[in-house]
Amino acid sequence: KQEVTQIPAALSVPEGENLVLNCSFTDSAIYNLQWFRQDPGKGLTSLLLIQSSQREQTSGRLNASLDKSSGRSTLYIAASQPGDSATYLCAVRKGDYKLSFGAGTTVTVRA
Amino acid sequence: NAGVMQNPRHLVRRRGQEARLRCSPMKGHSHVYWYRQLPEEGLKFMVYLQKENIIDESGMPKERFSAEFPKEGPSILRIQQVVRGDSAAYFCASSPSTGENTEAFFGQGTRLTVV
């Protein structure tokens, strides 16, 4: 059974600082890994999808790396802004269609 | 192309009533998934459906819960005789296929409160 862990559970940083969010998973035989953003009371917005053959993906200020062999992914958010405050979820997909989610990291960026 | 549409956004039911949650997938997507997010927990897979077929319902409680995705119309998640423990956010996702590089797109969720 795939277990996904996200550390830390919560993070508070001043505006402008870089954010580093960690995700680890127990079964390295994955198809892909997705990072999502969830705002309070809202749905999930997909940020980045990394295929199993890739080592990283970038979109604007966001960069996600994947080390499949060690079961780890890291999401970097450069020059954080108050608008980045949200919960960030990591989800991995094995050979079937199910996503296994971590519990998330709640980020607060202080102005 | 509208995203995944779920309604209602919020639903309040008394214990013992029925809850019906609707999900319209993105245009061109024939694969629908339901996930549940309990308070302070991560999202958990419930069921996977294609048009008129339940493919995998391994994450759905055996009693009181059912799901369908008819040929016409939205997918429906139905909870009969709701109890307080059913209070949660229910998310629907859709995808065009289940290939290795397929991305899942999620709706805004339905927040069910059982009083």
Rounded to 10 degrees, the C-alpha dihedral B53/B55/B60/B65 comes to 10
Contacts with B92 from chain A: Cβ below 8 Å? none
Tell me: pLDDT of B1 over 70: no
- Tell me the mean pLDDT in the region A39-52: 90
Tell me if chain B has a CB within 8 Å of the CB of A59: no
Render pLDDT for A74-111 as a digit per residue (tens, 0 to 9): 999 999 999 999 999 999 998 778 899 999 999 999 99
Q: What is the mean pLDDT of chain A?
A: 93
Mean pLDDT across the stretch B104-108?
Answer: 91
Residue B42 phi, psi (nearest 5): -75, 170
Q: Do B103 and A34 touch (CB under 8 A)?
A: yes
DSSP SS3 for B32? strand
Q: Do B98 and A96 count as a contact with CB atoms less than 8 A apart? A: yes
Q: How far is B103 from chain A (nearest CA, A)?
A: 7
Q: Which amino acid is at A105?
A: T
How many CA within 13 A on the CB side of residue B94? Answer: 24
Distance from the Cα of B47 to chain A's closest Cα (Å) equals 9
* pLDDT one-digit tens code per residue, B62-100: 999 999 999 889 999 999 999 999 999 999 999 988 777
**pLDDT, averaged across chain B:** 93
Helix (H) or strand (E) holding A93: strand A86-93
User: Can you read off the two tokens belonging to residue A36?
Assistant: 């999502």
For A23-34, what is the mean pLDDT? 91
The set of residues, in sequence order, having a beta carbon less than 8 Å from that of A53 and lying 6+ positions away, is none
Query: Strands, DSSP E only, in chain B?
Result: 5-7, 10-13, 19-24, 31-37, 43-50, 53-56, 65-68, 75-79, 88-95, 105-106, 110-114
State the pLDDT at residue B101. 74
Predicted confidence at residue B5, as pLDDT, reads 95
Residues of A whose CB is below 8 A from B41: 103
| Separation in Å, CA of A8 to nearest CA in chain B | 14
User: What is the per-residue pLDDT across B30-44, written as a single tens digit (0 to 9) for each?
Assistant: 999 999 998 878 899
> CA–CA separation, B57 vs B34, rounded Å?
10
Residue in the block written with tokens 């499949």: A68
Place of tokens 């290795």: B100
CB contact under 8 A, A98 and B45: yes
Name the pLDDT band for B46 (thresholds 50, 70, 90): very high
Q: Helix (H, G, I), strand (E, B), or coil: what is residue A102? A: coil
Q: Do residues B33 and B45 touch, judged by C-beta distance below 8 A?
A: yes
The answer to whether the Cβ–Cβ distance between B107 and A43 falls below 8 Å is yes
